[in-house]
Structure 1
Amino acid sequence: MGATDITLDRAYLAAIWLETLFYGMNIVLFCACIYILVAKRRTPKVNKYLIAIAVLMFSFSTCHVFLGFYRLIMGFIVLRDQPGGPAAFFSDVSIPANVAKVGLHTVNSIIGDSVVVWRCFLVWGRNWKMCLLPIILVCGSAICGFGQTVYFARGQKYHSAFAPALVRWNGSLFSLSLATNIVVTGLVALRAWYMLRLTGGVAGFRYWRILVIIVESGMIYSIALICEVTLYFLGLNSFYIVYDPIGQLTGIVPTMIIILAGLHLTSNDVQSRFSRTQPVTSLSAPRFRPGKTTTSDGTTTSDIQLDTMHFSTVDSSFSKRKSAPGLSANDLDDAEAGETKNVFITPLDERTVQH
């Protein structure tokens, strides 16, 4: 333990307190997720897959915090008078409750990483080639995670998560999980930022675009993993203060992504809505150019002139004829013959004049 580090029992106590705080957030998000997917859904059928994933992650997060409290009670109350006290109890990584806790953490991490990769797959237009590297990294994380669990179960002689035999598995797991989230974060953030840039003129979208990118890319989870990996390779007990709350973040971040998808607030949905409204906006909101007009008495007044609006060729259907008020029948016939007319709109009398 370094001079700036804290004792293991204090680190574990702080870790459980933080995990409980994150678990409260997890409860609220899980309830909101189920409500949105079931009661406020915008599709005829309930998405059973998303609900199953949300329920599974919340169940694992609940078991994780329950096992953490169980170890807390055993170490500080039931076995506090054992040789070495609480610090010796928490250093024994082979305790069944700790092995089960590590296994749940691994499974939840794999599910959470898979949800983030799935989001990346959708953001990139279902292009699996963009997700090939993250998929390989998730598979590597799964192998290292289950290998770590086996070594923890056989680790009676280690009595430390920083033992060299465990560092290989733990370090590989943490590094692969961090690499997965960094790659996916970069891919999703790049694509989401590009798509949301196209909505820069839409006032209703531009204020929360950063939040969408942060949540959708799993950036919060990536930052937590950076802290976890750094503290672990430094061999500090404060690593546990980050490690246990991450057991809740593995459920919180994917649940937030599912909520965004259920509310149709993801970057894909913003781009779809913008694409539908863009043609209407371009016709109904022409650009204005300020100008000056000199009246008969010599005074100068400011007015607004409209740019020329070029309308496409009119089809020869009756509905197209009715949809062009202000144009004569001869004008429509000329349009049907392939002649393109320039139409000017004057702001003074709001009448359409043929030029």
Structure 2
Amino acid sequence: MSYAPHESAADLLLERSNFIGGFLGNMAYGVHGTLYCVCAYLLVRRRRKVDMSMFWLAYITLLFAVATIYVACGIKLSEMLWIDDRDFPGGPVAYQNALFSNYVQLLLSTSYNVMTFMADGLLVYRCYLMWSNSRLRWVAALPFLLFLASTGKSPLPPNPPPLTAHRSDTAANYGILFWSLSSALNVLASLLIVARIHAYRSELQGALGAEHARPYTSASAMFLESAATYAIASIIFIGTYATNNWFQNIVVPVLGQITCIAPLLIILRVAYGRAYTFRTVSTSTRIEWGSAPPASSQSEAASARAFPAAGRRSAKEKEVAFETPSTVSEYRL
């Protein structure tokens, strides 16, 4: 004897995927919360050493607060779907479609849009930072234009609920347009940041040595600085959403937290002194090479300020570094 509800197999699959996605999203929220605590602790503890530490603390706090609202709305919506009104005609799928304009659904979509806006804004800022001293700095305008376009779409009716068996063409087209713009922004900005770090690699390795330049030029640095996790997750989602695949219900809650985790990983590097800043970029593009006398203590201090992770050398390492025939003669900040 079966106790399964009298619903179609397609509706049951959508409900299962939504149920699984909710749990995975809450797990990702736990990761987000842990990273937030670590970042907040480091920013407060190192506030005199980290540029704009209080701004970054306010940024991650607001991001975490919005993510908490998003999770709380998801929990409340699940309570309404599976407990309070579980006997709604047509099941949870029909119930969520009927609640499309409910305040919980609206707040859920709004918080998602705010998280996307904040994460995309940081990515555009980092892209501009990386290219600010380049003759091709105009390329940083491309992600900014995509950012304006995607932001212009976000105040429109909120994203269609993913838990739907059938979507109207208008809702589907709007969702595809919004997520396509956001995904294109993520991918383009990530590629531009990776390209710029790769261009800096030889300069930094020559100036600091391969070992001390590694925090700024390694594959992990490129992956984290470019928010690649955010770009990859966005691509996966837009593929499932465009085809109206049930897997989108699993991706959406996780993507909501990845949207917040990617900026936190960048800010964590800022707190540790391993992220690119305007000072780092300015220094790395103004290196003079030649057979010069040993660098002055002022030059060493400038290097340490621009590249904190590379500045932790022993006295012996510094002595050897400045005795080589080709050395850095001056860092201009």
TM-score, with normalisation over the residues of structure 2? 0.75
Indicate the structure whose relative CO is greater, using CA pairs within 8 Å and at least 6 residues apart.
2
SS at 1:7's partner residue? helix
Name the CA distance, whole Å, in 1 between partners of 2:119 and 2:17: 25
Query: Does the residue aligned with 2:49 lie in a helix, a strand or coil?
Result: coil
Q: Distance in 1 between matches of 2:184 and 2:324?
A: 46
Which structure's CA Rg is the greater one? 1
Structure 2 distance, partners of 1:5, 1:183, is 36
1:183 maps to 188
Q: What's the C-alpha RMSD, in Å, of the aligned pairs?
A: 3.3
User: Does the C-alpha gap of structure 1 residues 275 and 247 become closer, same or farther in structure 2, counting only changes over 3 Å?
Assistant: closer
Aligned pairs for 1:1-355 within 5 A: 7-43=13-49, 47-92=53-98, 93-125=100-132, 129-149=138-158, 162-200=167-205, 201-206=209-214, 209-267=218-276, 269=280, 272-273=306-307, 283-285=322-324
**Distance between the aligned counterparts of 2:73 and 2:57, measured in 1?**
24
Residue 324 of structure 1 corresponds to none
Matched residue count: 283
Contact (CA 8 Å) 2:70, 2:111: kept in 1 or not? yes
Deviations 1:213-259 (A, max 9, x none): 11110110010011100001111121121112111111111111111
TM-aligned CA deviation for residue 5 of structure 1:
9.8
**Deviation by residue 1:169-218 (Cα, 9 ceiling, x = unmatched):** 11111000011011100110011122234444432443781111111101
Q: Aligned pair in 2 of structure 1 residues 280, 4: CA closer, same or farther (>3 Å)?
A: farther
The one-character-per-residue Cα deviations of 1:260-309 (angstroms, maximum 9, x if unpaired) are: 112211245595439989997654246xxxxxxxxxxxxxxxxxxxxxx9
- Tell me: CA distance 1:140–1:9, structure 2 relative to 1, closer, same or farther (3 Å): same
- Which ranges in structure 1 are unaligned for 5 or more consecutive residues? 287-308, 313-355
Contact 1:185–1:219 (Cα < 8 Å) also in 2: yes
Q: Deviations over 1:74-96 (max 9, x none)?
A: 11111111111223223443332
TM-score (norm 1): 0.71
Q: Take 2:62 and 2:271, find their aligned partners in 1: how far apart are those partners?
A: 17
Distance change >3 Å, CA 113–CA 126, structure 1 → 2: farther
Q: Which residue of 1 aligns with 2:289?
A: none
Task: Decide which structure has greater helix share.
Answer: 2
Q: Distance in 2 between matches of 1:21 and 1:255?
A: 16
Q: How high is the sequence identity, in percent, across the aligned residues?
A: 25
Check 1:275–1:44 CA distance in 2 against 1; reply closer, same or farther (3 A cut): closer
Partner amino acid, structure 1, of 2:257: Q
